[in-house]
């Protein structure tokens, strides 16, 4: 049964006003939750056992929700500590869809505003501050070399030790590849590295370019297990420094190099037998896709292979929505996605022949849930590396992304391509991809 008001005490006028506001705003909410107010009074909504408790610490947030109910407002309040979530964060994220659909007639809105003015005032909560909002708000979407460098630094230079707390031992910040749902994150990421190398059909002595090499996992793996000469580029100073030390520690100086370089500044023609880009394409910008693909074409030798691993959207273009606003404000300031068909069309227009396409959407949902669990388990250690708002941004963003991948609104594809009109040494079937690994 509906158990609204089960715990509510009517002794406080403030509590009564807050109760009326919350009951109206959450009317029809498909989930079930407890609400704990700033004065430790309780309210319950929905049917069945509560999946989570939403803690409201600042009554002024209710005033904002009456006039502007966007999910980004709730996310911002969570980052600032105005609200908190105890229990299942994934269930709490169902509030996003509820508030997106909520429409109040003007009479109801007026009544709620009158109640909102009855609420007590509280001191402002701690703001997210520092880089987390200021940089995202001032960055443009023009994707200049400088703005791209700032955007990458904003996301990846948070702290190497922070990422190490929840990534796998190879330190891979991209979708893993689960042969079974029970694979550990470490195993699934090694599966992914092996799969990428198999798809590229790497051979000893070949020259591999990794555009957006992260902390150097793939270039070191490819050199160690396949005997290739690998070169990685990144715009992140923290990633570069870590990868450089990793190359030394693994004794791969003769095979692996890494540098800070924008892909647009790569020099030369037909230098690499294979080119790969994993999780970097999202930062390129849709207007820059022809430039990006033309650089790959120029760097790739005739008969070579190019593997692009990137996130896609379920609709064309990067339009202004709640999701895109949240991602660009807090997570990837210059990130832009498109549907997979447009990505393939762009590759074909750039002179590529599509050889293979594989969807990894469910794999990324599993990956993200692993990351969230590991981050939550290491919360105390994470707060030694970053501030509380930054921790909350990553926790909420990755949990929300897991749900988005599970729902199919976001996808991810590995697309293998070659120069059109030039024969490759690819086998006639995919059987070699699924043969027992020698790694």
Beta strand residue intervals within 363-435, DSSP E:
410-419
Distance CA 344, CA 232 (A): 24
Distance CA 419, CA 300 (A): 8
Distance CA 341, CA 145 (A): 27
CB 24 within 8 A of CB 112: yes
CB 221 within 8 A of CB 197: yes
CA 75 from chain center: how many Å?
15
CA atoms within 13 A on the CB side of 3: 15
> In the 8-state DSSP scheme, what is residue 318?
-
Furthest-apart CA atoms within the chain: distance in Å: 80
- Catalytic, 401? Answer yes
Place of tokens 């693994």: 250
Q: What order of strands is seen across the sheet that includes strand 32-36?
A: 42-46, 32-36, 52-56, 83-87
Query: Per the structure block, which two tokens stand in for 374?
Result: 């590991």
> In the 8-state DSSP scheme, what is residue 152?
H
Measured CA to CA in angstroms, residue 130 lies from 95, 99, 139 at distances of: 28, 29, 15
CB 409 within 8 A of CB 351: no
CB 220 within 8 A of CB 246: yes
Catalytic site residue from 175, 197, 220, 401: 401
CB 208 within 8 A of CB 256: no
Query: Per the structure block, which two tokens stand in for 156?
Result: 């990846």
CA atoms within 13 A on the CB side of 261: 15
Residues facing residue 354 across a β-bridge? 417
Given its phi and psi angles, is residue 251 left (phi above 0), alpha (psi -120 to 50 degrees) or beta? Answer: left
Catalytic site residues?
401
């Amino acid at each position: 049964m509906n158990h609204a008001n089960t715990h509510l005490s009517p002794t406080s006028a403030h509590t009564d006003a807050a109760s009326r506001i919350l009951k109206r705003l959450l009317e029809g909410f498909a989930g079930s939750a407890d609400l704990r107010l700033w004065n430790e009074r309780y309210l319950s909504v929905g049917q069945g056992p509560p999946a989570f408790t939403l803690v409201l610490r600042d009554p002024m947030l209710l005033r904002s929700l009456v006039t502007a109910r966007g999910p980004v407002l709730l996310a911002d309040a969570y980052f600032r500590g105005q609200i908190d979530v105890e229990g299942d964060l994934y269930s709490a994220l169902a509030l996003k869809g509820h508030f997106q659909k909520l429409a109040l007639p003007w009479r109801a809105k007026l009544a709620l505003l009158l109640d909102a003015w009855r609420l007590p005032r509280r001191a402002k909560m701690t703001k997210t501050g520092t880089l987390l909002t200021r940089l995202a708000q001032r960055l443009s979407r023009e994707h200049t070399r400088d703005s791209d460098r700032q955007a990458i630094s904003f996301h990846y230079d948070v702290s190497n030790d922070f990422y190490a707390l929840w990534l796998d031992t190879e330190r891979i910040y991209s979708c893993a590849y689960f042969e079974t749902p029970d694979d550990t994150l470490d195993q699934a990421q090694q599966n992914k590295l092996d799969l990428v190398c198999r798809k590229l059909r790497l051979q000893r002595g070949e020259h591999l370019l990794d555009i957006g090499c992260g902390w150097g996992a793939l270039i070191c793996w490819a050199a160690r297990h396949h005997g290739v000469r690998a070169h990685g580029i990144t715009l992140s100073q923290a990633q570069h420094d870590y990868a450089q030390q990793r190359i030394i520690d693994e004794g791969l100086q003769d095979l692996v190099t890494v540098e800070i370089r924008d892909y647009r500044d790569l020099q030369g023609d037909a230098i690499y037998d294979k080119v790969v880009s994993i999780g970097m394409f999202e930062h390129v910008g849709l207007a820059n896709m022809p430039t990006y693909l033309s650089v790959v074409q120029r760097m790739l030798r005739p008969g070579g292979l190019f593997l692009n691993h990137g996130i896609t959207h379920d609709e064309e273009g990067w339009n202004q929505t709640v999701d895109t606003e949240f991602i660009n404000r807090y997570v990837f300031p210059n990130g832009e996605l498109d549907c997979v068909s447009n990505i393939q069309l762009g590759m074909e227009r750039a002179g590529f022949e599509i050889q293979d396409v594989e969807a990894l959407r469910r794999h990324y949902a599993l990956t993200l849930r692993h990351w969230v669990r590991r981050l939550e388990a290491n919360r105390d250690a994470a707060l030694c590396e970053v501030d509380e708002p930054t921790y909350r941004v990553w926790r909420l963003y990755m949990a929300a992304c897991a749900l988005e991948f599970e729902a199919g609104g976001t996808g991810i594809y590995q697309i293998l391509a070659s120069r059109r009109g030039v024969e490759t040494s690819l086998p006639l079937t995919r059987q070699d991809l699924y043969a027992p690994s020698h790694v």
